[in-house]
Structure 1
Amino acid sequence: MNGKDAKATIVSMGRSVSEVARALGMSQQNLSNSLSSRDVKSGLIERISEVLGITVADFYHRAAHGGEALNISSIGDNSPNINGNGNHVDTGSAVMEKMADTISAQQATIAKQADIISGLVSKISVS
């Protein structure tokens, strides 16, 4: 998670970075520096979530959805029914489909890179 989203989530919860830093036992500057990163460490997200009184999953959801809380309730077959803005999300297929799309895109990128490397190796071998 990038620091900008993490900071926005803290603020959306009605807390300041300095207030959260104090609760974490660190300086405001140290926390601000950590939140200026493109990739905030998951351990820090866990600690911030604890200070805010929310789960890590809720923290990530709020970061991705403009501060909107994650609402999880069970339905008849014990599969999660996740409601953000009132829309039902079928986590069984929607999340898996997104993951499959991401994996396919990464595999295509790897294949292109392998072709480039093979081309470079063949040029070196000819020389």
Structure 2
Amino acid sequence: MLIIRDAQMEAFRLAALRPVEDRCVRLVREHWSALYAARSEADVRAELRHLFAVAPRWGFRSERELFRLANAACFLGLGFQRAPEAAWAVRILEDAGAAPGARLRALFARFDPEAGA
């Protein structure tokens, strides 16, 4: 019988996330450069890894969901999930009664009512 330990599963999960992480680092560098130019790639990558560690608890699992979540994080500020002033955003993202896409639309609707439509 094959036994896979938790540490091995975590290694598999991180390896699977690497392409998504790479795309999201490019997203930050290319589309959010005005806000994050001063941050190193290693710092941006560390923030994304922290975000992706909590994402499954919020129901964000697919590559598309993680990419959209990373984009929202750039809008709110990388590391927003740890900032007390962004607790309202975390509450929206934690709402298990709505699909991840609906939660992101609700989040953006707080800033642009047409974004939630």
User: TM-score when scaled to structure 2?
Assistant: 0.25
Point out the structure with the larger strand share.
Answer: 1
Q: Could you say which structure has the greater relative contact order, defined with CA pairs below 8 angstroms and 6 or more residues apart? A: 2
User: TM-score when scaled to structure 1?
Assistant: 0.23
